[in-house]
Amino acid sequence: MTITEKILAAHAGLDEVEPGQFIKAKVDVALGNDITAPLAIEQFRKIGAQKVFDPERVILVPDHYTPNKDIRSAELAKTVREFAKEQGLKYYFEVGRMGIEHALLPEEGLVVPGDVVIGADSHTCTYGALGAFATGVGSTDLAAAMITGEIWFKVPESMKLIYYGEMGRWVTAKDLILYTIGDIGVDGALYRAMEFTGETIRRLSMDGRLTICNMAIEAGAKSGIIEPDEVTIRYVEGRAKRPYKLYRSDPDARYVEVREYDVSKIEPQVAFPFKPENTKPISEVGEIPIDQVVIGSCTNGRLEDLRLAAKVLRGRKVHPYVRLIVIPATQRIYLEALREGLIEVFIEAGGVVSTPTCGPCLGGHMGVLAAGERAVSTTNRNFRGRMGHPESEVYLANPAIAAASAVLGRIGSPDELGVSPDD
């Protein structure tokens, strides 16, 4: 069996499972946020449930429209807060102690290798970087899991993606996943488990692995996953809130498809509107002026991302007609960036720094676009109207490309500024 099949079999109480099989599996974590949890709470009450199955396994993180942008978002956040208090949830994260959910849970050790994690948010697949099966579900499914501690799945087929070689200048994990989505398309992994492996993946930090698994959903995948190794163990040791189990795919496991990528041939990628699959290497982008740059989100708001952006921005100024918005993904990341002097770099360059929030990624607040405006963003989606007006445009890129673009006033590379990755 593959790692995905082994985890699902264990949680279904079965010796083995196979793709296409319907199972009922126990969940280790059921996650909701300020947009999706209120719908789940409504269904929870409609069913007549009194208690969640385990107050340590249901986790609520208000992060999308927080700090509350208006009365409606304040009411949603209030619903989540009052439910957490009523149910005695151990892990409810209020503004000031919170972060973007998919950065916060790994950081807090609330997801560990071998888990089955569901979240009423499509980017729940992020946690596959820890060697867990993690996937997004609807709010009604979340409600059922909050009550029973179980959920049904159709076991997905697995596809293996093998990466080898050395990454080139300014190439990051974000570029590997953008290139992959550009290769297979936004439905190229439909209802599949994307298993990322190879020497290049093994050399990636946990920040990079989280970025790759985060965007598996943009290829239509049910989940993304990376086998746990020494990097995983170093990350979870000392922070894991529960015991964990390491699973690995069998050498003779069956895959519906196997693809290989020589990363030495991959340049920094830019995804053009209005799909993440519309990728081009930075050398072929051309002259595209921009109005806004967003560095952050559950994809690229981690410390490694902020360090990379600061390397490009240090001693430089943001273009006078560009807005640079930097959003650390958690309060802990924000604090560490402050201690390292990164926040000072962003502000001296002419950027603004926000408390953790999903904000602009979904066109919520803290950076909504007007008609005709263009943004370069380290987020995960660039659908029409995703960041604001339907006639605005979002270009996806890694933090180094985003930072350089903020200075240039157009999409461009740090090489144009004379910055070296070794600086």
Summarised one tens digit per residue, pLDDT across range 384-402 is: 899 899 999 999 999 999 9
pLDDT at 147 > cutoff 90: yes
- The answer to whether the CB of 411 falls within 8 A of the CB of 395 is yes
Give the pLDDT of residue 422. 82
Tokens at 325, concatenated: 């918005």
Q: Which residue has 């502000």 as its token pair?
A: 347
**Terminal-to-terminal C-alpha distance of the chain:** 45
Claim to verify: residue 137 and residue 184 sit in the same structural domain: yes
pLDDT band for position 261 (cuts 50, 70, 90)? very high
Q: What would the pLDDT profile of 6-56 be if each residue is shown by its tens digit?
A: 999 999 999 999 999 999 999 999 999 999 999 999 999 999 999 999 999
Q: Cα separation of 210 and 298, whole Å?
A: 9
422 falls within a domain: no
- Give domain status of residue 423, yes or no: no
Q: Which two tokens stand for residue 272?
A: 């053009």
* Residue 413 included in any domain: yes
- Same domain for 191 and 283, yes or no, is no
Asked if 246 and 283 sit in the same domain, the reply is no
Q: How confident is the model at residue 420 (pLDDT cuts 50, 70, 90)?
A: confident
The answer to whether residues 245 and 334 belong to one domain is no
DSSP string, 117-134: EEESSGGGGGGGGGT-EE
Task: Convert the pLDDT of each residue in 367-378 to its tens digit.
Answer: 999 999 999 999
Owning domain of residue 274: 270-417
pLDDT confidence of residue 121 = 94
Residues 356 and 242 in one domain: no
Taking alpha carbons only, the member of 97, 146, 145, 107 closest to residue 129 is: 107
The share of the chain scoring above pLDDT 70, in percent, equals 100
The beta strands (E) that lie in 279-416 are given as 279-281, 292-295, 323-326, 352-353, 374-377, 393-396
Q: Of 239, 261, 283, which one is at a domain's C-terminal end? A: 261
CB 33 within 8 A of CB 357: no
Rounded to whole angstroms, the Cα distance separating 32 from 124 reads 10
116 and 244 in a single domain? The answer is: yes
Examine the domain organization and report whether 384 and 247 are in the same domain. no
In a 13 Å sphere around the CA of 118, the CA atoms on its Cβ side amount to: 26
CB 404 within 8 Å of CB 414: yes
Do 197 and 88 belong together in one domain? yes
State residue 145's pLDDT score: 97
User: At residue 308, does pLDDT exceed 80?
Assistant: yes
Distance CA 263, CA 179 (A): 10
Q: What is the pLDDT of residues 155-213, one digit of tens each?
A: 999 999 999 999 999 999 999 999 999 999 999 999 999 999 999 999 999 999 999 99
The interaxial angle of helices 71-87 and 37-47, nearest 10 deg, is 50
Looking at residue 5, what DSSP letter applies? H
Which H/E stretch holds residue 214? helix 206-214
Rounded mean pLDDT, 277-305: 97
* Contact of 190 with 215, CB cutoff 8 Å: no
Does residue 317 share a domain with residue 248? Answer: no
- For the stretch 92-144, pLDDT in tens is 999 999 899 999 999 999 999 999 999 999 999 999 999 999 999 999 999 99
Percent of the chain with pLDDT over 90: 96
Torsion of CA 12, 298, 359, 109, to 10 degrees: 70
CB-count burial class (<10 Å; 0-12, 13-18, 19+) for 77 = buried
- Determine which helix (DSSP H) or strand (DSSP E) holds 269, and give its type and residue range: strand 269-271
Q: How far apart are CA 345 and CA 400, in angstroms?
A: 14
Beta bridge partners of 181: none
**Which CATH number belongs to the domain containing residue 336 in this structure?**
3.30.499.10
Q: Is 140 in the same domain as 277? A: no
Q: Is the pLDDT score of 421 beyond 90?
A: no
What pLDDT sits at residue 124? 97
179 assigned to some structural domain: yes
Mean pLDDT of 400-409: 98
- Write the DSSP assignment of 272-300 as a string of letters: PTT-TT-EEEGGG----B-SEEEE-HHHH
State the number of CA atoms in the 13 A half-sphere of 383 facing the CB: 7
Residue 95 lies in a domain: yes
How does DSSP classify residue 99? B
Stretch 306-334: mean pLDDT, rounded? 97
Crossing angle of helices 331-339 and 342-349, rounded to 10°: 80
Which tens digits make up the pLDDT trace of 62-95?
Answer: 999 999 999 999 999 999 999 999 999 999 999 9
| 339 contacts: CB under 8 Å, gap ≥ 6 | none
Nearest to 376 by CA among 266, 267, 273, 280: 273
* pLDDT per residue as tens digits for the range 231-254: 999 999 989 999 999 999 999 999
Domain final position from 194, 226, 261: 261
* Domain tally, the chain: 2
- 398 belongs to a structural domain: yes
What average pLDDT does the structure give for the chain?
Answer: 96
Residues 278 and 381 both lie in one domain:
yes
**Is 238 in the same domain as 355?**
no
Q: Does the structure show a pLDDT above 90 at 217?
A: yes
Predicted TM-score (pTM) of this structure: 0.95
The pair of structure tokens assigned to 117 is 């994690």
Measured CA distances, 197 to 102, 177, 267, 407 (Å)? 21, 12, 20, 35
* Res 423: pLDDT: 77
Rounded Cα–Cα distance for residues 131 and 128 (Å): 5
Count Cβ atoms below 10 Å from residue 169 Cβ, excluding itself.
14
Of 206, 230, 261, the position where a domain reaches its end is 261
